[in-house]
Structure formats: structure tokens, C-alpha cells
Structure 1
Amino acid sequence: MQLTLKAALSVLLSLLMPLVAHAGEDALYAAEAPDGASFIRVVNADVSGTIPEAEVGGKAIKDIAPMDASPYIYLPEGSYTLSVEGQEISLNMEKNRFYTAVVLASGELEILTDKTFKNPRKALISFYNLTDDAGVSLKTADGKVAVVDALQPLSVGNREINAVKVSLGAFTDAGAMAQTPPVNLQRGKVFSFFVIDAGGSPRLLVAENRVDTSV
């Protein structure tokens, strides 16, 4: 009887241990954003230095490097003021919508509305023209296949595509401006491509969109 009880206890412990371990793993991850939240991130299009902090709705996005995009943070829907290094801009954030705040080289702020994406079978490309040039399009690096049609300055275009590994380039009628190394575009994910005028030398940057729920 004692052996039977010990065996039963051993089996019970072996069943419980994975659950305890799983609970410990869950504690390592931040909670998901609540339903109906709004999302915002900051892109530093100023090549001169890091943005120490951007503040909105009592939350802070810190240490945004030049030519880089922060993760999104979430807030309840509503009206807010975004403050970055002495500059402020008002915005109305709707539920389940995503916004990109661009910090220009002048220090001015520009808000762009992003596409909400929920297609697990495709990847989404979002292309941002953050230069003063009109008619900037996104194509394959060889210029043969158009991906996002020509955009005006400070605007964004989107396209859903199949998963693929590809190099892309920003083009005007005058030719190529800049291109990326090969990027592995995965299904169900959003990839942002930013063309930025880095002191007269355009660059095309790419970032996989993600949400930081720890802020």
C-alpha cells in the first residue's frame, strides 16, 4: 500500500511540474494589450542624435536612436498630447488603431495613421516616405517590380504580399535612392520601410512592427 501511495504521489508531482514551469515562463512575459486599446510609436528621422524620451498619456518611450523606430506602446482611446524635446502635438487616438509619430530633423512632429493588419496568410509592407521628395515608390531592388506606388512627402502606403525573402529599394523617376539587404518577410507580420534623407544621402530602413506591453 505504501508503495502504491508513493507511486501515485510521484505521478501527481510529475503532472504538476510542467504546469508550475509553464506558470513561471508566463511570468517572464508582459500581459497583452487590452481589447480596444490604441497604439503609438515614435520614429527618429533626425540623424543628429538620440531622442532621450517621448511622453504621451503618462507613458514614456525612451532612447530612440537616430534612424530608428520604437516599438508601439498602448493607451486607451482618447485625446492626447505627445511631447518630444520641447515640441508638442495633439492627437486623437481611436481604438484598435496604430499611429506613427515622426520626429523630423527640424524637431517638428508629424503623425501618420498606420494600417491595422490581421491576415495570418500574408505579410504586410508599410512604406513611409519621410523625405521632401515627391513620387517616391518602393520596388524590388532591381527596380523591375513595383511594391508600393509613388508617395508624396510624409505619407505612407501599404501592400499585403506572400511570405518571401527579398531586397527592396526606394525609387524616384530619376532612379534608385537606397535599398535594403535581403529581408525575410513572414506571414502574419508587419514590416515598415522608412526612406529618410540622412544629410543629403537617402537611406532605406526596415523594422518589424512590435508592441511593448511593459510600458
Structure 2
Amino acid sequence: MFKKTIFTVVALIVGLHSIPPATANDAALYDKGFDPNAAFIRIVSSGESVLRIGSKRLQKGQNVSPYVAVDAGRIAVDIDGQASEIEAASGKFYTVVGLSKGHVIFLKDSIAISPAKSNLSFYNLTGDKSVDLFVMQAKANVISNLPSGQGKTVQLRAPLTLDFAANVDGQTEAAVSGVKLQRGGGTTLIAMRVNGAMTLKAIQNEIAK
């Protein structure tokens, strides 16, 4: 049974079926906003925060902001007046996770630039010690034991439309269906608790214009 589960997850990551060549209808990488000389930073927050990356002020109420292209170096980040700095390198993607009580975590995202794959990022902002991201179609976890306040990115062959669940100790706490994974793009799933109940939200990654 264990070997079968491992095989299922590997099959999901390398492709559930053979992928035809890319077509004009496939999504370009973050709307062709990728500049290899820039660094890319976004903010993930569980509340309706006022966000700023460098000199760019972002829309209030976004749980996941767009990536903002900045010059490499030390970049100022502000979440509801809580200021901090991140050292950003050219061609790299970063997520600043804003937690409760002004606590901030900096994560380096493993974003891959591939015309045949989609980046899938998962963040656990629930407060639960660990959460699994479960794929309904594969009947297996694609990300396991993600600690609270952390995120992880994997690459999946695309295009795919999948249903996901956020599981705690093998029990489904929240789910989202019909998540479209597009070639050359990315999707973020964020698990949060609202009034004690877990939610799982899917958001398409993008680079701010």
C-alpha cells in the first residue's frame, strides 16, 4: 500500500497523462511579467492588511498579494505598519508571511520557469501544528506535514484541473474543487482558520503590473 501511494504521487508530479505541445491558449508565465534581472516579492497574510513592498503600496484585503518586481538587494516590506527588510537576489521569488502579533517569516519560493509545468504553492496559516495538502484525484498528499506559518512549492505537469483538501491528522478540515493549473503559471493555496473553522482558498499567482 505504501509503495502504491508513493507511485501515485510521483505520477501526479510528472504527469497524469502525456502532455501535448503548448498552444497559444496556454497561460504565459505570470502574464509575461518575468524579468530575470529582477527579484520578486509577495506578501501572504491571514488578515485584511495594508501592504507595501519597496515603494509599491498594495490593495488592502488581499490574503495573497501579486509578486512585485524589485531591484535585487535589501527591500523594505511593511504589513500594517510592521516594517522589515528582506535580502532579495536576481531571478528569485520570495514570500513574506505575516502572522499574528506582528510576527513575520521570510520564505524563498522554489518557482520553476517551465512551459510544461505549473507551480503549486501551499501555505499553512491555520495555527495547526501541521497540515497536509491532499489531492482528491490521486488519493494522496502532494505536500505533507507542512508546519504552521510555513509554505512549500512543488511543480506539477499542466494543464490539470484538480480538487484539493487540507487535512489534519488524516481528517479533512477544508476543501476546494476545480483548481486550474496552467502551463507556465502558478497557483497558491492558503489554509486559514476563520472563527475556528478552517478555509482553503485558491489564488492564481501573478506579477503586479
Same fold, TM-score > 0.5, yes or no: yes
TM-score (norm 1): 0.74
Identical columns (%): 26
Bigger drift between 156-165 and 137-146 goes to 137-146
The question of whether the paired residues in 1 share the 8 Å contact of 2:41 and 2:53 is answered with: no
User: Which residue does the alignment assign to 2:54?
Assistant: 57
Counterparts of 1:108 and 1:61, CA distance in 2: 19
User: Which residue does the alignment assign to 1:35?
Assistant: 36
User: Which residue does the alignment assign to 2:178?
Assistant: 182
Structure 1 gap ranges (5+): 1-29
1:39, distance to aligned residue in structure 2 (A): 0.9
Matches within 5 A, 1:21-100: 32=33, 34-46=35-47, 50-51=48-49, 53-65=50-62, 68-100=63-95
Task: Work out which of the residue numbers 188, 192, 199 in structure 2 matches 1:203.
Answer: 199
Q: Which has the higher contact order (CA 8 A, sep 6+)?
A: 2
User: Which residue does the alignment assign to 1:159?
Assistant: 154
The question of whether the paired residues in 2 share the 8 Å contact of 1:141 and 1:179 is answered with: no
TM-score (norm 2): 0.76
Please identify the structure whose Cα radius of gyration is greater: 1
Structure 2 gap ranges (5+): 1-30
Counterparts of 1:101 and 1:131, CA distance in 2: 16
> Residues 174, 188 of structure 1: CA spacing in aligned structure 2 closer, same or farther, 3 A cutoff?
same
Q: Amino acid of the residue matched to residue 56 of structure 1?
A: I
Counterparts of 2:146 and 2:32, CA distance in 1: 37
1:110, distance to aligned residue in structure 2 (A): 2.5
1:117, distance to aligned residue in structure 2 (A): 1.5
Counterparts of 2:139 and 2:128, CA distance in 1: 21
User: Which residue does the alignment assign to 2:107?
Assistant: 112
The question of whether the paired residues in 1 share the 8 Å contact of 2:76 and 2:86 is answered with: yes
Q: Amino acid of the residue matched to residue 165 of structure 1?
A: T
* SS of residue paired to 1:64: coil
Q: Amino acid of the residue matched to residue 127 of structure 2?
A: D
Bigger drift between 100-109 and 151-160 goes to 100-109
User: Which residue does the alignment assign to 2:18?
Assistant: none
> Residues 177, 142 of structure 1: CA spacing in aligned structure 2 closer, same or farther, 3 A cutoff?
farther
Cα RMSD, aligned residues only = 2.2
Aligned residues: 178
Q: Deviations over 1:174-195 (max 9, x none)?
A: 5111110211212221111111
* SS of residue paired to 1:99: strand
* SS of residue paired to 1:106: helix
